[in-house]
Amino acid sequence: MAYELLSVKLCELDEKFERLHGRIQRSQTFDRSVLKQETQLVRRECEEEEQILSRRLRFSRSEMAGRISKIYEKVEETVRKAREEMESGQGRLSSEDWLLLAEYSLDFAKQAADRALLISLEAIGRQADTEPPEQMKMEETT
């Protein structure tokens, strides 16, 4: 059961990273107006996905999911405020600073993937602890 659920999520993650890679690569050839449109499109997509995830977490039966949702909302609010500060007044970031910010954002994405792996392994281990040994053997052979 755990493997099937995680497999679906891994496929979604693979697709997301393929699109991310392609979009970043293609964006380097865009003129300013197309880049601006693409940025607005991605911003809307991010907002929609954030709302969907927040809703799913909020209505989850898992108490932990609700706690994670609240933490995630705080992080998003902090990031939003930091962006506003970066984009206004004398504190505006240089293009080099923006590039470093993008680089660190990708580093955080890698870290999130590592964390997802760790939690997945722990979940599979806990499921294995609760299943009878013969059921685990049957799943291994199929």
End-to-end CA distance of the chain: 12
User: Is residue 131's pLDDT more than 90?
Assistant: no
The structure tokens 């209505």 sit at: 59
Q: Which two tokens stand for residue 41?
A: 């499109």
The per-residue pLDDT for range 47-100, each reduced to its tens digit, is 999 889 888 888 888 888 888 888 888 988 988 888 788 777 666 778 898 899
User: Is residue 142's pLDDT more than 70?
Assistant: no
The maximal CA–CA distance of the chain, rounded, in angstroms, is: 66
- 123 SS3 class: helix
The per-residue pLDDT for range 15-59, each reduced to its tens digit, is 999 999 999 999 999 999 999 999 999 999 999 998 898 888 888
**CB neighbours of 13 closer than 8 A, spacing ≥ 6?**
113, 116
pLDDT of residue 122: 93
**50/80 Cα distance (integer angstroms):** 13
The upper half-sphere exposure of residue 34, i.e. CA atoms within 13 Å in the direction of its Cβ, equals: 7
pLDDT of residue 68: 84
**86/94 Cα distance (integer angstroms):** 10
